Structure 1
Amino acid sequence: MRRTWPLLAAAALSACVAGPPPEIATPVPDLPEGFAYAPEASVSAALDSLLPTSDPAFTDLAALALADAPTLAQAAARIDAARAGADRAGAQRLPEIGANANVTASRINTAQFGGALPPGVSIDPNQVQYGANLTFAFDPDLFGRLRAQERAAVARLDAATFDAVAVRNALLAEIASSVIDWRTLEAREAALREDLAAAEALARLAGVRERAGIAPGFDRVRAESAAEASLSRIAALASERARLSGRLVTLTGLSAQRVLALLEQPAPLYAEPAAPASLPSDLLANRPDVLAASAVLAAEDAELAAAAARRFPQFTLSAALGLLAFDLGDLFDDDAVVGSVGGSLLAPLLDFGRIEAEIDGAAAEKRLAFAQYRGAVFTALGDAETAYGLVAAADAELAAAERERAAADRAASIANTRFEAGLSNFLTVLEARRAADASGERVAAAQGRAMRARVLLWRALGGTPAEATPQD
């Protein structure tokens, strides 16, 4: 009975410091009912329709990048590390069974037993001890510390998985934007070559008129200047192509030759799909960065519970079963069997605030995680509002650019007809042609911005969902 008093006293003292973790409110942020810049005629279209999936260059580059992109390999390694942490935390809750064997040789001084030993009794000063044991240890986790640590590790695995989805979405968005920019360059070059052909035709006409003596040589020079301007803009596109191909090499891990070969595939004309319908509340379930922040918050909550559980006593069961003999031949005799069973109780008495400091630190980490979660939510909300607004603005710009091109083409045609009828001078024709030429390139650029805005919207609304990205 006397031996139980120390245990009871330890439990009583530990109860003085035991208690639940501090309460920290983590309410879901208030979200608006809808997006301010979402079009009124939103449709229930698939989110992936916003990507240029009809372009074989995008589909091929995306597939190759998903198979072996450097950024995805890094994300996969983080998932593996988090999974190992979750496995380790789960294993901590299971018994630990071990085995050991030993041979110990020792020499003693027989004088320690006194000088006068009974007749016929002698002590060998050289002793060899042989042993083999099976050991068992188990923490029943009475107060949930190990369970909380396991929950935290699993939540961090979820966070790593959602982070990998975010990396995957960013990679696909970058590839899609780069391919769109490449197709935009092709469309701009086609428009500029049409401008060049028109300018060269005007230069030839001005040359004929000059040689006939019915027009000054200045008209030919101005026409040739317009042709050179088109050639200059065409040449400038080469630097943009080099930048885009280098960017795709970085994203995909492919050689530049392979990237350029894939980009040379013909692509159908891009169509601007309608912006799909979505609600701000959908971001909480679709955005991988929001889901990752939520998982980190859950992990910090579990870490706080684990820190608070350290206030309680820790009870451990242990047992050992083995063989012990002083002669190798006696190791498997019945008398060589030894064993032990026990339990231990470890409780904090006076730690001078160590545990409370750990709890305060865990509580601060949880508050930080909640602030980061709120930041991720409002970042997602802002991204979606921006993307919807950019889609609407880019569509309006494209429509205006197309109207401008149609009007400029009509003006150029009228000016040419009036010039042939002698009702207008060559300068009027040249200026009308310049306006028409510039409008074609602007339409191509506006269409590229409209498609890029849709890629931004795809990513802002969550991109490829988490369940579509395997953890293995």
Structure 2
Amino acid sequence: MNAQTSKSGTRTRALKLGVSAIFAAVLSACANYAGIHSDKQIAKPQQYETAKSLPAEQGRWPAADWADQFGDAQLKALIAEALKGSPTLEQARARVAQAQAYSETAKASTMPRVDADYSLTRQQYSSSALVPPPYGGSWQTENKGLLTASYDLDLWGKNREALKAAVSDEEASKADEEAVKLTLDTAIARTYNQLARLYVLRDIAQQEVARREQIDRVTAGRIATGLDTEVERKTAQADLATSRAAVTALDGSILTTRYQLAALLGAGPDRGLSIERPQLGVGDDVRLPGNLPADLVSRRPDIVAARWRVDAITHEVKEAKAEFYPDINLSAAIGFDAFGFGRFLTAASRTASAGPAIHLPIFDAGELRAQLKGRYAEFDYAVATYNQTLVGALSDVATQLAQIRSSDAQLVDAQAAQQAAQGADQLAITQYKAGLTNQLTVLNADVTALNADEAVANLKMNRRDQQIALASALGGGYVDTSADAIRSADASASSNQGKPSNPTVAAR
């Protein structure tokens, strides 16, 4: 008896060893992702040298209502109107809704599924096949009603990673929407400032018309006294006509700029006709906030969007890796199946089934490896895009600050030149009236004064335009608040199986 028991135990152990060996051989022959990886990582803002170009000046980050600093109620109203009716913004909102739908679809894959099915089939069964008489050779109506349930065990986290990727894509779409808002606000403010510039230049051009009219009158008087000839008169009249043409050209530019603003508002061109002349002020002092490079990554919506796309691809890489492992799906069904209607809902017609379904990729001609390589390529691209976005953002802030400082320095000299040119112009007119100088001197002084006035006006408008661009470069009041929400969503999706994702972790 002991000998027989010993032999039975030996056979059992041998069978287990055999099965284990076969299973190990199958796994070794299965598709695998050995050798496929990436060492790319997103850059940290601290690794870039910015201390000299972006000095800490104890300033404040722009607020969401940064445009209010210029004290123009109409600009504030135009921005609010654009946020309600811009087709560009509607496109961004539609993309957010689409990403949310994808996220909901991915979440459904992590949950059990229950379906109810009913079918009615009228069929003639063969009398020479598997179905015996009396059903063989006859027409029968089969009624089948089933309640089925299935659940993917997701042992390797494939569905959970797909959900995390979808949630990250949703957050990226939300950041994209904020980037569109900021771009739209900035475009309206800069175009509005351009409208203000055109009005100021028109004022200068109109003043120039008045000066040219004065020169024409003085020239007419000098001709009467024999001091000038018709040559000077014709020259004065030509200059006057040129000045009037400049006013007309500016009127056309003002009109087209109004149309541009109407388009930004998402309205027809007639909306631009009701826009009044801008009343923009100087705005706040320009001082950069502290800890700028580090905090900028959560203040710029384009950087935040790029970071979430890196996170999404990271989870897609993990999802692609999980495809190499066995997929186990549990399913069960219960219902009724009978010929005819009379016995359909009877106990004898009950049917039930339950069991697992296991899928293990063994040979796929390299499809899964190619798919994983593609995901890693997308990951490398997303990382490079993020790094480039960060570099561009730092350069953008530094460029706008440098231009503002340059405009401030130029404005001091330009205003001094303007005062001198205006004094010379008045003196030349006075001397021309008194017959102490010629028309050419007056015209030269007048052109110099005109150029000086235009230079000061353009520098002031440029400076305000650069200030608007700097507020946009600093994020326009945007603050990323998605991190807390995403951690909560990831914890719910993981359901005690894994930790929440970190959007700054690189794929391995």
What interval of TM-score do these two structures reach, taking the shorter chain for normalisation? 0.7 to 0.9
1:328 counterpart SS class? coil
Paired amino acid for 1:296: R
Q: Which residue of 2 aligns with 1:86?
A: 103
Q: Partners in 1 of 2:117 and 2:17 — Cα distance? A: 32
**Once the two structures are aligned, what percentage of the paired residues are identical?**
27
Asked if structure 1 preserves the Cα contact closer than 8 Å seen for 2:313 and 2:379, the reply is: yes
1:382 partnered with 2:382: no
Q: Which moved more, 1:248-257 or 1:338-347?
A: 248-257
Asked if structure 2 preserves the Cα contact closer than 8 Å seen for 1:132 and 1:322, the reply is: yes
1:141 counterpart SS class? coil
1:304 partnered with 2:317: yes
Aligned equivalent of 1:99, options 98, 101, 116:
116
Deviations 1:206-263 (A, max 9, x none): 212322334444444443343223212212213423442342233222121211212x
Aligned equivalent of 1:462, options 445, 461, 475:
475
Q: Which residue of 1 aligns with 2:175?
A: 162
1:110: Cα distance to partner? 4.7
2:297 counterpart SS class? helix
Q: Which moved more, 1:385-394 or 1:246-255?
A: 246-255
1:330: Cα distance to partner? 2.1
TM-score (norm 2): 0.81
Aligned equivalent of 2:367, options 354, 358, 361:
354
Alpha carbons of 1:307 and 1:97: their partners in 2 closer, same or farther (altered >3 Å)? same
2:342 counterpart SS class? helix
Paired amino acid for 1:54: G
Q: Partners in 1 of 2:166 and 2:265 — Cα distance? A: 31
Aligned equivalent of 2:302, options 289, 295, 298:
289
1:192 partnered with 2:235: no
Q: Partners in 2 of 1:150 and 1:122 — Cα distance? A: 50
1:28 partnered with 2:39: no
Q: Partners in 2 of 1:113 and 1:415 — Cα distance? A: 118
Q: Which moved more, 1:93-102 or 1:44-53?
A: 44-53
Q: Which residue of 2 aligns with 1:315?
A: 328
Alpha carbons of 1:53 and 1:272: their partners in 2 closer, same or farther (altered >3 Å)? closer
Q: Partners in 1 of 2:106 and 2:429 — Cα distance? A: 81
Q: Partners in 1 of 2:395 and 2:471 — Cα distance? A: 14
TM-score (norm 1): 0.87
- Equivalent positions of 1:211-290 (< 5 A) are 211-262=224-275, 264=276, 266-278=277-289, 279-290=292-303
Q: Partners in 2 of 1:269 and 1:78 — Cα distance? A: 35
Q: Which residue of 1 aligns with 2:353?
A: 340
Q: Which moved more, 1:44-53 or 1:339-348?
A: 44-53
1:457: Cα distance to partner? 1.4
2:274 counterpart SS class? helix
Q: Which residue of 2 aligns with 1:178?
A: 191
1:253 counterpart SS class? coil
Asked if structure 1 preserves the Cα contact closer than 8 Å seen for 2:255 and 2:273, the reply is: no
Q: Partners in 1 of 2:430 and 2:444 — Cα distance? A: 14
1:182: Cα distance to partner? 0.8
1:153: Cα distance to partner? 0.9
Q: Which residue of 1 aligns with 2:60?
A: 44
Aligned equivalent of 1:393, options 406, 414, 423:
406
Q: Partners in 1 of 2:435 and 2:128 — Cα distance? A: 137
Asked if structure 2 preserves the Cα contact closer than 8 Å seen for 1:412 and 1:432, the reply is: yes
1:367 partnered with 2:380: yes
Q: Which residue of 2 aligns with 1:70?
A: 87
Asked if structure 2 preserves the Cα contact closer than 8 Å seen for 1:321 and 1:340, the reply is: yes
Q: Partners in 2 of 1:9 and 1:28 — Cα distance? A: 47
Paired amino acid for 1:247: Q
1:39: Cα distance to partner? 7.4
Asked if structure 2 preserves the Cα contact closer than 8 Å seen for 1:82 and 1:157, the reply is: yes
1:329 counterpart SS class? coil
Deviations 1:77-127 (A, max 9, x none): 211211111111111111111011122333335566899x9xxx9988343
Q: Partners in 1 of 2:379 and 2:399 — Cα distance? A: 30
| Number of residues of Structure 1 aligned to a counterpart in Structure 2 | 463
Q: Partners in 1 of 2:162 and 2:103 — Cα distance? A: 9
1:269: Cα distance to partner? 4.5
State the superposition RMSD in angstroms.
3.3
2:334 counterpart SS class? strand
1:137: Cα distance to partner? 0.7
Paired amino acid for 2:281: Y
Paired amino acid for 1:145: K
Alpha carbons of 1:405 and 1:133: their partners in 2 closer, same or farther (altered >3 Å)? same
Paired amino acid for 1:143: W
Q: Which moved more, 1:460-469 or 1:446-455?
A: 460-469
Q: Partners in 2 of 1:217 and 1:106 — Cα distance? A: 111
Q: Which moved more, 1:19-28 or 1:453-462?
A: 19-28
Paired amino acid for 1:62: I
Alpha carbons of 1:4 and 1:51: their partners in 2 closer, same or farther (altered >3 Å)? farther
Deviations 1:10-44 (A, max 9, x none): 57733765679835341424544546445786633
2:174 counterpart SS class? helix
Q: Partners in 2 of 1:452 and 1:122 — Cα distance? A: 87
Deviations 1:363-395 (A, max 9, x none): 121111111111111111221221112222222
Alpha carbons of 1:50 and 1:7: their partners in 2 closer, same or farther (altered >3 Å)? farther
Q: Which residue of 1 aligns with 2:496?
A: none
2:284 counterpart SS class? coil
Alpha carbons of 1:243 and 1:206: their partners in 2 closer, same or farther (altered >3 Å)? same
1:449 partnered with 2:468: no
